[in-house]
A = this chain, B = another copy of it.
């Protein structure tokens, strides 16, 4: 259960989440090490998004404890915005700010939240655009970008806050097939820079290749927690076996 360097980035202890009478997450406990990449997979509606959204408090857990870098974020007295600055999130539908240019999208949070001088923020944004290979799109508005380009900008926007942890919720499922790879490549590069990542994905190739561990969620529980080679070649639970049979 120890990650790449022995330190715990995320510790989850008996996490419950309900929407009204619907119990979506049931007693989830897990640890994710610093620098580790975890792929979350499972059937539709099993609670993957909800789980991810609890990690940056976009959903308020019903009960249970979440620690990030040793700090308990489920503490009601916590400054939620401070926590979120440290946990980046990339959405299926990008959610770029449509009325800001690509550059402004990336600069916005550092300038507004961290009071970074504009000059500095712009330099940083340009560096990030270089990383996601979109330097030439700096002054373009999001509407003019392809899906893959939008998602790469969204990743750069998250990285601009220099988070310790990045969450991805199906970052490639809204993309045309030809654009999937360019996004996955960027994500792989991010993971190689040592980022702790939790990725909800249906891209089994990516899960196999990049993830350090697979969480298979089923009806609100982690039904299986294993390294990819074990999980894909030899899934334990019958649900996982079923799921893989269908998907491959």
A residues with a Cβ closer than 8 A to B are: 43-44, 176-181, 202, 243, 246-247
Query: 14 A-B residue contacts at CB 8 Å?
Result: A43-B176, A43-B178, A44-B176, A44-B178, A177-B202, A177-B246, A177-B247, A178-B243, A178-B246, A178-B247, A179-B246, A180-B246, A181-B246, A181-B247
Q: Give chain B residues whose Cβ lies under 8 Å from the Cβ of A176.
A: 43-44
Q: Give chain B residues whose Cβ lies under 8 Å from the Cβ of A247.
A: 177-178, 181
Distance to closest chain B CB from A242 (angstroms): 9
- Report how many copies the assembly holds: 2
Distance to closest chain B CB from A216 (angstroms): 13
Distance to closest chain B CB from A177 (angstroms): 5
A175, closest chain B residue (CB): B44
Q: Give chain B residues whose Cβ lies under 8 Å from the Cβ of A243.
A: 178
A45, closest chain B residue (CB): B176
Q: In the docked arrangement, what's the CA distance between A140 and B181, Å?
A: 40
Distance to closest chain B CB from A64 (angstroms): 27
Q: In the docked arrangement, what's the CA distance between A120 and B177, Å?
A: 43
Q: In the docked arrangement, what's the CA distance between A44 and B180, Å?
A: 13
